[in-house]
């Protein structure tokens, strides 16, 4: 199976919901400048943020682990691929100050000596701490679709929803909302086809299931054997792993806007 990291191509081209963070603190969804779907840049590597999280003290935004990778575009095995260290600054579009990389599943798996092939291939999740000066700019809702409304799974043939924000779309927002179908999953990842497929720069973007729950995180573009399909890291598995490896208080923040699956 040949897969390519979308962010790397672009450069060189829980389970609990967060009651500790009151929704009253969030910026209105229509004026917030930091939210799921904003672009993040890690030493030039462009990605799309997925969901907003909290650990009770910090406000965090998710991106793909490979967004801070140091290898080639085809280096997608998190158990042996290089990554920038924790503490690396991350530019968040819409923020006044850089965020800080505080968790990376690739680094966590390497530190733990992970050998599960599913985890090594598909656990592609990182967290960036948003500077407190920018907390008032944040809203946790996924643009266009609303949600997330908790964390959930899917099944083969079920509809999914996403929002990509690659600069390759040249700011044409009508191309950002995407919907499609799952074609299978293995517990660590989902294979999905969307119209249109994810492109370089969409890496890390959120996927919602048909109930508006956080389903996954866009990881890779598959070239063979299923051309133009995308591999999506299972959100529940990735969050669970993070909680077991240094992020024990991690919680997903639900959107302030209701899920509305109308394209």
Structure tokens given for 201: 């720069």
Q: What's the whole-number mean pLDDT along residues 193-204?
A: 76
pLDDT tens digits, 176-196: 688 999 998 999 999 999 876
Q: How many CA atoms lie within 13 A of 81 on its CB side?
A: 25
Predicted pLDDT of residue 17:
41
Dihedral sign (CA 111, 112, 116, 122)? negative
| Res. 171: pLDDT tops 70 | no
Residues paired with 90 in a beta bridge: 99
Residues paired with 2 in a beta bridge: 224
Predicted pLDDT of residue 199:
62
Please report the domains of the chain, with CATH numbers, ordered by start residue: 10-20+38-131+241-251 (2.40.10.10)
pTM equals 0.88
Structure tokens given for 103: 């968790």
Q: Are 159 and 178 in contact (CB under 8 A)?
A: no
pLDDT tens digits, 139-168: 999 999 999 999 999 999 999 999 876 655
| Res. 223: pLDDT tops 60 | no
- Give the whole-angstrom CA distance, residue 68 versus residue 203: 11
Mean pLDDT (the chain) is 86
- Phi, psi (deg, nearest 5) at residue 73: -60, -25
């Amino acid at each position: 199976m040949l897969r390519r990291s979308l962010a790397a191509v672009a450069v060189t081209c829980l389970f609990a919901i967060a009651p500790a963070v009151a929704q009253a603190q969030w910026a209105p969804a229509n004026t917030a400048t930091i939210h799921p779907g904003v672009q993040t840049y890690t030493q030039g590597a462009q990605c799309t943020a997925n969901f907003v999280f909290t650990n009770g003290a910090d406000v965090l935004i998710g991106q793909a682990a490979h967004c801070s990778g140091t290898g080639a575009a085809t280096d997608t095995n998190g158990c042996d691929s290089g990554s920038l260290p924790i503490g690396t600054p991350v530019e968040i579009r819409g923020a006044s100050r850089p965020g800080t990389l505080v968790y990376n599943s690739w680094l966590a798996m390497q530190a733990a000596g992970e050998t599960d092939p599913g985890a090594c291939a598909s656990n592609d999740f990182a967290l960036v701490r948003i500077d407190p000066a920018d907390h008032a700019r944040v809203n946790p809702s996924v643009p266009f679709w609303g949600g997330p409304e908790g964390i959930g799974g899917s099944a083969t043939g079920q509809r999914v929803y996403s929002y990509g924000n690659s600069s390759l779309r040249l700011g044409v927002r009508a191309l950002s909302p995407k919907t499609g179908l799952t074609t299978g999953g293995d517990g660590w990842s989902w294979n999905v086809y969307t119209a249109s497929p994810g492109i370089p720069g969409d890496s890390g973007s959120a996927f919602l299931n048909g109930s508006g729950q956080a389903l996954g995180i866009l990881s890779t573009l598959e070239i063979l054997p299923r051309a133009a399909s995308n591999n999506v890291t299972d959100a529940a598995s990735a969050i669970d792993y993070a909680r077991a490896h240094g992020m024990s208080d991690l919680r997903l923040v639900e959107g302030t806007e209701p899920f509305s699956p109308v394209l």
